[in-house]
Amino acid sequence: MQNIGTDFKMRVYSCRWGHRDNYTLTKTENGWIVKTMKYKGIESDKHASPGIEQAFRSESISFPQDIGYFISDIWDASQTKSQEEVQSYFDELAEWISKYEESKPNFSALSL
């Protein structure tokens, strides 16, 4: 198995904080360990579940519902691809999630 124990980074924009936060996914034999500043290691499956959803929800980050399928595809690709190639997939995924997060409406200015 290739890339076991390798850390891959995702820098995802947070509307809540107004900057990009770091998410680390470490490949395991059965999936990923998801780490953030708040979470030091959530064991997750190939879809990065429950870790990635828990991490994003705790920071109020909107993300596509099918994110796990893309992360699972990256896990599969990591079996034969170089660390650099796999990181490039995570970079692309982080950009997509960031655009998703940035495009959500902001209703906080409404007085209800």
Q: What is the mean pLDDT of residues 63-80?
A: 97
Which tokens go with 81?
């691809």
Structure tokens, 38: 């708040």
Report residue 25: phi and psi, to 5°.
Answer: -115, 120
The C-alpha atoms of residue 31 and residue 98 are separated, in whole angstroms, by: 23
Percent of the chain with pLDDT over 90: 91
E-state strands within 2-63: 7-14, 19-27, 32-35, 42-44
* Residue 93 or residue 112, greater confidence: 93
Burial string for 84-100 (b: 16+ CB within 10 Å, else e) reads eebbebbeebbeebbeb
Give the model confidence (pLDDT) of 1-53 as tens digits.
899 999 999 999 999 999 999 999 999 999 999 999 999 999 999 999 999 99
